[in-house]
């Protein structure tokens, strides 16, 4: 590694650590913020997520090599970790650390965007069902029942069959459109319990339209569980993306994603275990971070004395 990526790497680390400390100083003053930062694993989760996000955003600076470069497919393939290649090289002699940094753009991006799709659909459908009740609610919730009865990966396998090489945008949409069922149930339950409250009646009596009541009055009150389920969903989506890519149906080569990198390494597992090990470890660390942050947020929003 030359000076530039080393400095950028240290910079990303410092940025992640510093941002967390700034957040901590600000959040300490509020009750829920203090409860969040009492979770040590969640604080580490935020650090890890910030680090990989910064590294992915600044990939051209942080990555020592071009992720697609294959400098010596015979002489430099499957090199073990060394100073020149901190995580080794893969079967095509590409630098694994560089691919990991660029793959973070794809994997984190898919996780975030697909969750955004899933949450938008889930919140809309849940809110409409819970607020409208009656036959609209019945139809939408039967749809959710059916959606939940098919394992998500089967649904994705079936959908992916429509494309030979699936474009990233479609993959994001599919991951999002198969992930809104539980969210819509959650939001529906919130809407059902909130719609009878006096403040909703008051808004309606003042002539607010159903859309306005939903967006201005119901959603803010239901925001906490939505945020928690969104954060937990990012990790889940990243696991699904990795699984699909591992099977060869997700992100298509040569675009590096953490899942495709694990899959690429499988063939030379005994020969060069680092080719699969580091991308998989990264997925695990990042998903673990999302889960830890989600747990801590749940606790911060809804404190229960029994929980540590």
Partner 1 sequence: MGGGGTWLIRRIAAAAAIVFAVVSLTFVAIHLAPGSPFLPPPDRPLDTAVVARLNRQFGLDQPLRVQYVLYLKNLARGNLGYAFSRGQTVRSALATAIPDTLLLAGTALALDLGLGLILGIILAARARHATDLILSNVTLFIYSVPAFWLGLVLVFVFADWLHWFPAGFPTSPGLYESLPFLGQLGDRIHHLALPALTLGLVGAAGTARYQRAALLETLGREFVRTARAKGVSERRVILVHALRNSLLPLITLAGLSLPFLLTGSVLIESVFSWPGMGRMATDAVLARDHALVTAIAMVASAMVVTGSLVADVLYAAADPRIRERAS
Q: Write out the binding residues for partner 1, residues 8-27 only, by CB under 8 A.
A: none
Contact 294, 57 (CB under 8 A): no
Residue indicated by tokens 């059916």: 146
- Compute the distance between CA of residue 63 and CA of residue 248 in angstroms, rounded to an integer: 25
Cα–Cα distance list, 271 to 85, 265, 268 (Å): 17, 10, 5
Q: Which is nearer to partner 1, 123 or 291 (CB)?
A: 291
Q: Write out the binding residues for partner 1, residues 153-172 only, by CB under 8 A.
A: 153-154, 157-162, 164
Structure tokens at 296: 């801590």
Three-class secondary structure of residue 98 per DSSP: helix
Three-class secondary structure of residue 102 per DSSP: helix
Transcribe 268-298 into DSSP letters.
TTTT-THHHHHHHHHHHHHHHHHHHHHHHHH
Binding string, residues 28-57; x marks residues near partner 1 by CB under 8 A: ------------xx----------------
- Told to check if 178 binds partner 1 by CB under 8 A, we report no
- Told to check if 284 binds partner 1 by CB under 8 A, we report yes
- Told to check if 225 binds partner 1 by CB under 8 A, we report no
- Told to check if 139 binds partner 1 by CB under 8 A, we report no
Q: How far is the CB of 248 from partner 1 (least distance, A)?
A: 9
- For binding to partner 1 (CB under 8 A), which residues are involved? 40-41, 142, 145-146, 148-154, 157-162, 164, 235, 239, 242-243, 246-247, 259, 262, 265-266, 269-270, 273, 276-277, 280-281, 283-284, 287-288, 290-292, 304-308
């Amino acid at each position: 590694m030359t000076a530039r990526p080393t400095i950028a790497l240290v910079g990303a680390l410092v940025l992640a650590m510093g941002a967390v400390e700034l957040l901590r100083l600000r959040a300490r003053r509020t009750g829920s913020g203090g409860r969040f930062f009492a979770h040590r694993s969640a604080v580490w989760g935020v650090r890890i997520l910030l680090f990989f996000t910064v590294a992915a955003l600044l990939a051209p600076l942080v990555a020592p090599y071009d992720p697609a470069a294959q400098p010596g497919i015979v002489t430099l393939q499957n090199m073990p970790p060394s100073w020149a290649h901190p995580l080794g090289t893969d079967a095509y002699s590409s630098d694994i650390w560089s691919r990991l940094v660029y793959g973070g753009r794809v994997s984190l991006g898919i996780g975030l965007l697909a969750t955004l799709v899933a949450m938008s659909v889930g919140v809309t459908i849940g809110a409409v069902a819970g607020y409208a009740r009656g036959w609209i609610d019945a139809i939408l919730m039967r749809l959710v029942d059916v959606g939940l009865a098919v394992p998500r990966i089967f649904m994705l396998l079936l959908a992916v069959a429509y494309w030979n090489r699936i474009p990233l945008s479609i993959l994001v949409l599919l991951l999002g459109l198969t992930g809104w069922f539980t969210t819509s149930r959650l939001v529906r339950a919130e809407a059902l319990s909130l719609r009878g409250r006096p403040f909703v009646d008051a808004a309606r009596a003042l002539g607010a339209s159903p859309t306005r009541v939903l967006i201005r009055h119901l959603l803010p009150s239901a925001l906490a569980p939505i945020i928690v389920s969104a954060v937990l969903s990012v990790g889940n989506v990243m696991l699904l993306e990795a699984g699909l890519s591992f099977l060869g149906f997700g992100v298509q080569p040569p675009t590096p994603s953490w899942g495709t990198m694990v899959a690429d390494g499988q063939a030379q597992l005994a020969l060069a275990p680092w080719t699969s090990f580091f991308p998989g470890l990264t997925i695990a660390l990042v998903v673990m971070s999302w889960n830890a942050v989600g747990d801590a947020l749940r606790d911060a929003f809804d404190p229960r004395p029994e929980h540590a």
